[in-house]
A and B are shown apart, each in its own frame.
Chain A
Amino acid sequence: MANLDAADTTFRPKPNLPPPPNTVGAVGWMRKNLFSSVLNTLLTLGAMWLILSVAYTLFDWGVLKAVWVAENRRECLDRSPDGACWAGVIHWFNTFMYGRYPYAEQWRPNLGLVILILWMLPCWLPRVTGKIGIALSAVIIFPFLAGYLFAGGEKGLILQILVSAGIVTFITIWLHVLSCLLTGRSLPVHILGITGFTDKDDRLHKYPLIGAFGLALIVVLILQSGWEPPEVGTNLWGGLFLTLVISGVGITTALPSGVLLALGRRSRMPIIRVSCIAFIELFRSVPLITILFMAVTMMPLFLPETVTLNRLVQVIIAVCLFAAAYMAEIVRGGLQAIPKGQYEAAQSMGLNYWKMMALVVMPQALKLMIPNIVGNFIGLFKDTTLVSIIGLYDLLLMLKAVSQNPQWNGLYLEPFMFGTFVFFIFCFAMSTYSQHLERTLGSGQVRR
């Protein structure tokens, strides 16, 4: 070190130079990934030609030469023989959405959808408490309200109570949400404050809350008793509306029943375990279409003749059973990924089986299962098109029925293109949301 003078020992970092040209940015990326060799360049050009020609053909057919307004298919063909006849899709759009549901009553499915969206919306709002309760009520109580809204007709006492409970729950949720957003305190806190129970023992707190709910229930029960929308038979339900009803019920029941079946399959009690295994294996080993046929044609044979079943109900039950069996295996897979130590830690602190499962095991397992669960939901959503084979006019059968109409005879392609688009929108939305969930739920919880 002795021969080094002071100037040399002082460390001066070299200045940062820009990278060589054509290695960064768009040009750099293209050089590296698309044109790195002769073969790569040829493949790139070939692929580009293929993509552009397909895109152009589609654009030419679907937009440039398309007919948007026409009375029937003949008129379409006369105007533009090589163009798409979107006029047919527009003409039948309402049928694709609602099937043969009477036009004057179509506000009912629309209202049902709006209520569902409003019901679930608080789960995505900040500062709202009790989100699990809101989501659960949407799964448990909303179907009765929606089911009656769609079907209408006379309602017995039990249905009266269920519908009223649905209305009261919906109002309660939004009062609670507004209370959380505006005052930062939950609705129960306000009710306790008004009734003067705030300072009393915690165990007494439930009484004013139950009382308030019961009072509201009675008021709504009296008010809604005159409300009786005309009956719309389920044979008139169809189109995307029917597809959403079947897959919606299937999807919402699949997860809870799948969880129960998976727990049953891992149970130590032999009768429960064996019956769960039998159920799962039976329904997983049989194609959905077979189960649907069994449900519609065979089930009435086993029932007394006085019992008449609704075909839609039979189909929904079949779909639910099928979906539950598949979901059970997904949940079981997720449960197996949870280390034994998690169970032991929960047990050693005195948590009983259900608390251990609900608080420790399931939250972790469900997070691992999100991709599989959503994949299953997407599959189920698409599988519901099979109900068209047993004569339910879901979206697929509606699309197909157009071609048999004398006015629009032979119009296959455009309705199916439209159907493809609709299915893509729903499935892609589910897929994107699942990726979003994976990212947000996984943050900050690195497993070691």
Chain B
Amino acid sequence: MSVDEMNVAASQIKSQVQNEVVIELVNVNKWFGEFHVLKDINLSVYKGERIVICGPSGSGKSTLIRCINRLEEHQKGDILVNGVTLDSNLKNIDAIRGDVGMVFQSFNLFPHLTVLENCTLAPIWVKNTSKREAEETAMHYLTRVKIPEQAAKYPGQLSGGQQQRVAIARSLCMNPSIMLFDEPTSALDPEMISEVLDVMVGLAESGMTMIVVTHEMGFANKVADRIIFMDQGEIVEQNVPAEFFGNPKSERTKLFLSQILNH
């Protein structure tokens, strides 16, 4: 992909969304020991934009979004979230984490707390919301992910799809402006994937800024404003879904798409 094409793609994307950058990555580099996992990543995410990141395993896509709420530390470059620079300043990190929700591949619900308590824990202890108010918010979001009737159960009593929907509701209870999804459907049985994707589509339609690492290309095609393809720690190609699937520029992207779409 040439620089010209990149710019064309970027301007197409910009025209679709509001022109306010909420996440900005400038020349981000990261190493795991000797292994160079992220190489000169530059990325701007606009408010309300839905981005899908795909790529082969080990390409650094999970690491990239985990850097955005600093579950991983980057060693070079700058990451700005809502204008706040991520560095070793703990206050900045806490502020950003309160505003950036994250959903994990393995749900990571707290098994010793009920579904409702999972949802109210952070609002009560981080935002000092009163218990009653936190429970109202939690029930609102549990209704939105269509499992209000499970509120009193423990996570271990729910199916995988239900657990992941609880995890989404739990993140939403903090009222975040950005949601990160790290392969949210990879650990699910096939018949449960759609119930989680439906919730995510609903969330996308409500205008939430979302970055989703996933292999669900149907979902990407349906909701993404932009698809980013990563390999070996670099962003190889990014484009709107129609162009990305219909007219991939690089050979690497074509190979990847042929591998995941042809079976």
B108 adjacent to A444 (CB under 8 Å): no
Using an 8 Å CB-CB cutoff, how does the interface string of A341-373 with B read, 1 for contact, 0 for none? Answer: 110111111111001000110011001000000
B156 adjacent to A350 (CB under 8 Å): no
Residue in chain A with minimal CB distance to B125: A355
Collect the chain A residues with CB atoms within 8 Å of residue B109's CB: 345
Report Cα–Cα, A351/B124, bound state, in Å. Answer: 10
Collect the chain B residues with CB atoms within 8 Å of residue A446's CB: 111, 154, 156-157
B125 adjacent to A351 (CB under 8 Å): yes
A342 adjacent to B156 (CB under 8 Å): no
Collect the chain A residues with CB atoms within 8 Å of residue B125's CB: 351, 355, 359
A348 adjacent to B101 (CB under 8 Å): yes
Q: Which of B126-183 contact A (CB under 8 A)?
A: 126, 130, 154-157, 163, 167, 170-171, 174
Among candidates A352, A359, A448, residue contacting B156 with C-beta atoms closer than 8 Å: A448
Q: Which of A198-217 contact B (CB under 8 A)?
A: 202
Report Cα–Cα, A202/B131, bound state, in Å. Answer: 12
Cβ-based interface call for B71 (8 A)? yes
Cβ-based interface call for B112 (8 A)? yes
Collect the chain A residues with CB atoms within 8 Å of residue B170's CB: 349
Interface size on B, residues (CB 8 A): 30
A363 adjacent to B171 (CB under 8 Å): no
Using an 8 Å CB-CB cutoff, how does the interface string of A253-271 with B read, 1 for contact, 0 for none? Answer: 0000000000000000000
Among candidates B110, B122, B130, B154, residue contacting A350 with C-beta atoms closer than 8 Å: B122
B112 adjacent to A363 (CB under 8 Å): yes
Collect the chain A residues with CB atoms within 8 Å of residue B122's CB: 349-351
B102 adjacent to A348 (CB under 8 Å): yes
Cβ-based interface call for B205 (8 A)? no
B112 adjacent to A349 (CB under 8 Å): no
Among candidates B97, B112, B130, residue contacting A445 with C-beta atoms closer than 8 Å: B112
Residue in chain A with minimal CB distance to B90: A352
Residue in chain A with minimal CB distance to B174: A349
B106 adjacent to A444 (CB under 8 Å): no
Among candidates A344, A359, A447, A448, residue contacting B121 with C-beta atoms closer than 8 Å: A359
Cβ-based interface call for B98 (8 A)? yes
Cβ-based interface call for B104 (8 A)? yes
Collect the chain A residues with CB atoms within 8 Å of residue B157's CB: 444, 446
Residue in chain B with minimal CB distance to A367: B112
Cβ-based interface call for B63 (8 A)? no
Residue in chain B with minimal CB distance to A446: B156
Residue in chain A with minimal CB distance to B96: A350
Report Cα–Cα, A351/B130, bound state, in Å. Answer: 16
- Please list the residues of chain B having a beta carbon within 8 angstroms of any beta carbon in chain A: 69, 71, 90, 94, 97-98, 100-102, 104, 106, 108-112, 121-122, 125-126, 130, 154-157, 163, 167, 170-171, 174
A-B interface, 10 closest residue pairs, ranked by CB to CB distance from nearest: A345-B108, A446-B156, A349-B122, A341-B108, A350-B98, A350-B97, A348-B102, A350-B126, A445-B154, A363-B112
- Please list the residues of chain A having a beta carbon within 8 angstroms of any beta carbon in chain B: 202, 339, 341-342, 344-352, 355, 359-360, 363-364, 367, 444-448
- Can you offer 25 A-B residue contacts whose CB atoms are under 8 A? A341-B106, A344-B104, A345-B104, A345-B108, A345-B109, A345-B110, A346-B110, A347-B71, A348-B71, A348-B97, A348-B101, A348-B171, A349-B97, A349-B121, A349-B122, A350-B94, A350-B174, A351-B125, A351-B126, A355-B125, A360-B110, A445-B111, A446-B154, A447-B111, A448-B155
